[in-house]
C-alpha cells in the first residue's frame, strides 16, 4: 500500500502541499473579490473599501429593475440557446455520415472543421459584416443587428465542436445495433433517428453545453452584429461598464456591475463543473481528434 | 469495420447528404467571408459605400502598405501590433507553463479531495472572459483598486501606478489577467498527457529505486514532450487571438501599448471605418497564423497517432 503511494507521487509531499496552498490562494483571491464586490454597496466599491462588514444583497435586487441588464440576460439565453440547439441538430446530422460512411467530401469536411478553429475571429467578423452589409444593400433586408444573423453565426461556430464530439462518440460505438436495425428494414435515416439518437444523448448534451457557451461568452461578434435591442449580456455589461468610467463626478455603480457579472458567470461555472469530465474529453477531442 | 462500412456504403441511401446543411452554413458563414476578405483588402471601402462595396474603387496594394506601416485610430500600425501580440502571447504561455505543470503534477497521485481540487483548478478558466476582464478593470483602478493598494502597502509600487492608461504597466496588467484566466487550459492538456503514460512504467522505475525527480525526468518528461508542444502551440494561438480582454479591460480607448492585432483590426474597421485597410490587416493576420496552424494540424495528426487507443475514453 505504501509502495503504491510512493509510485504515483510525482512531487515531494512538502512541495506539493505548499504549492497547492499557494495556487489555491492565487485562484481564490480574485473570485472572492468578485463575490465581495457583487455584495457591496456601490459607495464602498467606488472608494475601494473592503466592505466585508456591510455586505448586502441590494445590488441583486437592483439588477432586475435595471432593464438593460435583464434584457441582455434574456437575449443571451435566447440567442445562445437557439443557436446551440440548432448546432447540435446539424452536428449530429453531419457526424453520422462522417463517422459511418465513406464519401468524397469526407476528408475535406473533417479538415475544414478542424482547420476553422485556427482562423482568427476578426478575419471572419470583418468580411461577415461587409457581406451582410452588402446583402442588406442589395435585397433591402435587415440582417445586421437582427436575431437570425447572430444566431446563425453562433450556430455555425458551435458546429465544429458539436460535430467532432458526436463524431468521436460515434466512432467509439459498435455498429451492431444499427446493423440490426438496417437488417430489420430500417433506412439509414430511420436507424439514426430511432437507434442512434437515444444512444448519442450524452454526446449531444455535451455538445449542447459547448455550443451554448460559444454564444454566451462571445464579445467580438456581438459587439458588431447586435444593437441595443438584440445585444447579449456580455455587451450590456461592457456598455454598462463603459458608462461607469465615462461619467466623471458621478458615482460609478461597480457594485451593480459586478452583481450582474456574477449572475452571468454562475450558470456557466455550474455548467462547466457539472460537465467537467466531458470538458476534458471535449477539449481533447477538439485538440487531438482527426480522421 | 472498414470493409463492412465500405460494403454498406454501396447501398444507395441519402445518408451522406445529412452533412449537407451543416456544410452549407459552414460555407456561407466561414468559407465565403474568407474569400470576401481577400477581395475587399484591395478595395477602398468606407462608411459611405459599405452597402455597395462590390462597386468600390480598386486600391491595389495600397491598403496593405497603409495598414502595415500606417497608424490606426489608436496610432498603431499592423506591424507594431504583431510585435505586441507576439510578446503578449509568448509571455502569457511561458509564464503559465510552470503553473500548469505544477498543477497537473500535484493532482496526479490519489488522495482525498483530488476530484474537488481538479474542479477548483478549472474555475478561472470557466468564468466567462468578459466577467474576468470587467473584474480586472476594477482591480487595477488607480488608487482605489486593490492592486494599487496592496502593492503600495507592501512598498512595491506607488499607489498611483496608473495601470490602465498606457505603457508597460498596461501591457502587464493585461498579460497578468490573461495568465490567471487561461493557465488551466494548459493544465488540462498536461494532465490528460500525464494520465496517458502507462502506469507500469512508473512502477518499474520505482522498483528500480528511482525517486520522484528521476521518475519525472526519465519517465514523465520524455512522454510529456509532445503534449507540451501541442499545449504550447494552442495556448499561444488562443492568447494571440484574444479580443475580449484587451477590448474590455481598458474602457473606450485602449492605450497603444496593448493594441494587439485583433484590436488593431477592430479599431480600423469599426472606429476608423476604413474597411479596406482593416481587410488588408485581417488577411495579413490569416497569413502569419497559417504557419503555426499548419504546424498545429501536423502535431494533431502526430498526437492522434500516439494517443490512438486512449480516445475516445474517459480522460478525467
pLDDT at A157: 93
Alpha-carbon distances, residue A202 vs A239, B179, B226 (angstroms): 37, 32, 30
DSSP string, A168-226: HHHHTS-SHHHHHHHHTT--HHHHIIIIIHHHHHHHHHHHHHHHHHHHHH--HHHHHH-
pLDDT at B10: 44
pLDDT at A231: 94
Check pLDDT > 50 for residue B316. no
pLDDT at A1: 40
Cβ–Cβ contact A285 with B under 8 A:
yes
Residues B299 and B284: their CA atoms lie apart, in Å, by: 24
Regions in chain A scoring below 70 on pLDDT: 1-7, 45-53, 66-67, 247-250, 279-291
C-beta atoms surrounding B247 within 10 Å? 23
Spatial neighbors of B161 by CB under 8 A, at least 6 apart, are: B142, B147, B148, B151, B169
Domain ranges, residue A79: 67-288
Question: Of the CATH numbers 1.10.3720.10, 1.10.760.10, 1.10.10.10, 3.40.50.2000, which one belongs to the domain with range B67-307?
Answer: 1.10.3720.10
All 3 cell numbers of residue A55? 455586505
Would you call A270 exposed, middle or buried from its count of C-beta atoms within 10 A (0-12, 13-18, 19+)?
exposed
Alpha-carbon distances, residue A65 vs A34, A59, A223, B281 (angstroms): 21, 10, 24, 43
pLDDT at A176: 83
Question: Would you call A8 and B119 a contact, using CB atoms and an 8 Å cutoff?
Answer: no
Percent of chain A scoring above 90 in pLDDT: 37
The residue of A82, A110, A118 whose CB has the most chain B CBs within 10 angstroms, and thus the best one to mutate to test that interface, is A118
Task: Name the domain count of chain A.
Answer: 1
List chain A residues with CB under 8 Å of B279: 126-127, 130
pLDDT at A137: 85
Check pLDDT > 60 for residue B9. no
Per the prediction, chain B carries an average pLDDT of: 86
Contact yes or no for A172/A253 (Cβ under 8 A): no
Q: Is B90 helix (H, G, I), strand (E, B) or coil?
A: helix
pLDDT at B52: 86
Question: Would you call A122 and B243 a contact, using CB atoms and an 8 Å cutoff?
Answer: yes
The pLDDT tens digits for A122-147 are 999 999 999 999 999 888 889 999 99
Q: Provide the 8-state DSSP code for B145.
A: S
Contact yes or no for B194/B104 (Cβ under 8 A): yes
Spatial neighbors of B19 by CB under 8 A, at least 6 apart, are: A93, A94, A96, A97, A98, A105, A109
Residues B216 and B229: their CA atoms lie apart, in Å, by: 17
Question: Would you call B144 and A34 a contact, using CB atoms and an 8 Å cutoff?
Answer: no
pLDDT, mean of residues B249-274? 93
pLDDT at A52: 64
For B126, name the nearest residue in chain A, comparing CA atoms only: A269
Percent of chain B scoring above 70 in pLDDT: 89
ipTM entry: 0.89
All 3 cell numbers of residue B209? 529505486
pLDDT, mean of residues B42-57? 89
Could you tell me the CATH number of the domain that includes residue A120? 1.10.3720.10
Counted across chains A and B, CB pairs separated by less than 8 A come out at: 349
Cβ–Cβ contact B293 with A under 8 A:
yes
Residue B58 phi, psi dihedral angles, 5° rounding: -75, 135
B222, B199, B227, B113: which is closest to A9 by C-alpha? Answer: B199
Check pLDDT > 60 for residue B8. no
If one compares B308 and A135, the residue with the highest pLDDT of the two is A135
For B313, name the nearest residue in chain A, comparing CA atoms only: A281
For B18, name the nearest residue in chain A, comparing CA atoms only: A93
Contact yes or no for B265/B82 (Cβ under 8 A): no
A214, A156, A80: which is closest to B25 by C-alpha? Answer: A156
Sorted by where each begins, the domain ranges of chain B are 67-307
Interface of A with B in 250-269 (CB under 8 A): 254, 257-258, 261-262, 264-265, 268-269
Percent of chain B scoring above 90 in pLDDT: 51
List chain B residues with CB under 8 Å of A10: 105, 108-109, 194, 212, 215-216, 220
At residue B260 the predicted structure's pLDDT band, cuts being 50, 70 and 90, is very high
Spatial neighbors of B257 by CB under 8 A, at least 6 apart, are: B84, B166, B167, B168, B170, B171
Check pLDDT > 50 for residue B313. no
Is residue A56 included in any domain, yes or no? Answer: no
Contact yes or no for A286/A110 (Cβ under 8 A): no
If one compares A244 and B178, the residue with the highest pLDDT of the two is B178
Q: Which of B103, B189, B292 lies closest to A23 in CB terms?
A: B103
Is residue A27 included in any domain, yes or no? Answer: no
pLDDT, mean of residues B298-311? 58
Cβ–Cβ contact A211 with B under 8 A:
no
pTM of the model as a whole:
0.88
Contact yes or no for A258/B138 (Cβ under 8 A): yes
Cβ–Cβ contact A16 with B under 8 A:
yes
The pLDDT tens digits for B55-110 are 889 988 999 999 999 999 999 999 999 999 999 999 999 999 999 999 999 999 88
pLDDT at A145: 94
Question: Would you call A34 and B36 a contact, using CB atoms and an 8 Å cutoff?
Answer: no
Residues B122 and A276: their CA atoms lie apart, in Å, by: 9
Amino acid at each position: 500500500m505504501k509502495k503504491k503511494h510512493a509510485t504515483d507521487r510525482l512531487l515531494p509531499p512538502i512541495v506539493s502541499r505548499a504549492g497547492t496552498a499557494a495556487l489555491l490562494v492565487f485562484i481564490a483571491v480574485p473570485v472572492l473579490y468578485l463575490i465581495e464586490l457583487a455584495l457591496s454597496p456601490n459607495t464602498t466599491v467606488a472608494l475601494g473599501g473592503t466592505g466585508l462588514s456591510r455586505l448586502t444583497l441590494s445590488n441583486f435586487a437592483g439588477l432586475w429593475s435595471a432593464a438593460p441588464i435583464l434584457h441582455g440576460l434574456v437575449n443571451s439565453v435566447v440567442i445562445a440557446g437557439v443557436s446551440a440547439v440548432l448546432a447540435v441538430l446539424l452536428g449530429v446530422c453531419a457526424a453520422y455520415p462522417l463517422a459511418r460512411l465513406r464519401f468524397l467530401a469526407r476528408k475535406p469536411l473533417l479538415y475544414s472543421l478542424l482547420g476553422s478553429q485556427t482562423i482568427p475571429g476578426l478575419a471572419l467578423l470583418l468580411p461577415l459584416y461587409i457581406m451582410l452589409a452588402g446583402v442588406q444593400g442589395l435585397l433591402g433586408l435587415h440582417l445586421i443587428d437582427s436575431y437570425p444573423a447572430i444566431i446563425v453565426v453562433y450556430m455555425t461556430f458551435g458546429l465544429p465542436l458539436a460535430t467532432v464530439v458526436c463524431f468521436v462518440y460515434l466512432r467509439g460505438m459498435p455498429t451492431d445495433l444499427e446493423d440490426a436495425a438496417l437488417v430489420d428494414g430500417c433506412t439509414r435515416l430511420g436507424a439514426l433517428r430511432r437507434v442512434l439518437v437515444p444512444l448519442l444523448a450524452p454526446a449531444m448534451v455535451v455538445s449542447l453545453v459547448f455550443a451554448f457557451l460559444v454564444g454566451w461568452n462571445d464579445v467580438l461578434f456581438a459587439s458588431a452584429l447586435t444593437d441595443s435591442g438584440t445585444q447579449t449580456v456580455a455587451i450590456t455589461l461592457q456598455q454598462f461598464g463603459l458608462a461607469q468610467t465615462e461619467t466623471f463626478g458621478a458615482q460609478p455603480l461597480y457594485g451593480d456591475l459586478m452583481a450582474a457579472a456574477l449572475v452571468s458567470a454562475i450558470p456557466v461555472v455550474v455548467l462547466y463543473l457539472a460537465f467537467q469530465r466531458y470538458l476534458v474529453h471535449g477539449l481533447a477531442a477538439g485538440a487531438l481528434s482527426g480522421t | 469495420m472498414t470493409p463492412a462500412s465500405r460494403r454498406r456504403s454501396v447501398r444507395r441511401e441519402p445518408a451522406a447528404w445529412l452533412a449537407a446543411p451543416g456544410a452549407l452554413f459552414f460555407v456561407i458563414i466561414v468559407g465565403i467571408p474568407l474569400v470576401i476578405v481577400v477581395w475587399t483588402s484591395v478595395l477602398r471601402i468606407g462608411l459611405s459605400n459599405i452597402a455597395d462595396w462590390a462597386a468600390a474603387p480598386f486600391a491595389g496594394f495600397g491598403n496593405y502598405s497603409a495598414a502595415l506601416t500606417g497608424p490606426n485610430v489608436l496610432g498603431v500600425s499592423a506591424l507594431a501590433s504583431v510585435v505586441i501580440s507576439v510578446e503578449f502571447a509568448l509571455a502569457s504561455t511561458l509564464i503559465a507553463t510552470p503553473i500548469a505543470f505544477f498543477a497537473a503534477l500535484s493532482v496526479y497521485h490519489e488522495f482525498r479531495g483530488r476530484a474537488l481540487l481538479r474542479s477548483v483548478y478549472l474555475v478561472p478558466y470557466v468564468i466567462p472572459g468578459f466577467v474576468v476582464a470587467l473584474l480586472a478593470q476594477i482591480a487595477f483602478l488607480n488608487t482605489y483598486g486593490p492592486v494599487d493598494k496592496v502593492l503600495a502597502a507592501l512598498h512595491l509600487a506607488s499607489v498611483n501606478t496608473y495601470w490602465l492608461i498606457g505603457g508597460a504597466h498596461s501591457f502587464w496588467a493585461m498579460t497578468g489577467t490573461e495568465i490567471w484566466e487561461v493557465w488551466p487550459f494548459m493544465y488540462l492538456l498536461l494532465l490528460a498527457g500525464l494520465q496517458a503514460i502507462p502506469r507500469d512504467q512508473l512502477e518499474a522505475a520505482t522498483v528500480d529505486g528511482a525517486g520522484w525527480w528521476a521518475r519525472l525526468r526519465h519517465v514523465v518528461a520524455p512522454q510529456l514532450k509532445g503534449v507540451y508542444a501541442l499545449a504550447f502551440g494552442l495556448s499561444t494561438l488562443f492568447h494571440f487571438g484574444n479580443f475580449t480582454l484587451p477590448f474590455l479591460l481598458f474602457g473606450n480607448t485602449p492605450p497603444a501599448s496593448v493594441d494587439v492585432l485583433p484590436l488593431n483590426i477592430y479599431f480600423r474597421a469599426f472606429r476608423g471605418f476604413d474597411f479596406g485597410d482593416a481587410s488588408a490587416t485581417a488577411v495579413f493576420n490569416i497569413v502569419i497564423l497559417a504557419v503555426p496552424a499548419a504546424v498545429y494540424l501536423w502535431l494533431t495528426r502526430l498526437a492522434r497517432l500516439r494517443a490512438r487507443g486512449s480516445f475516445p475514453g474517459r480522460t478525467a
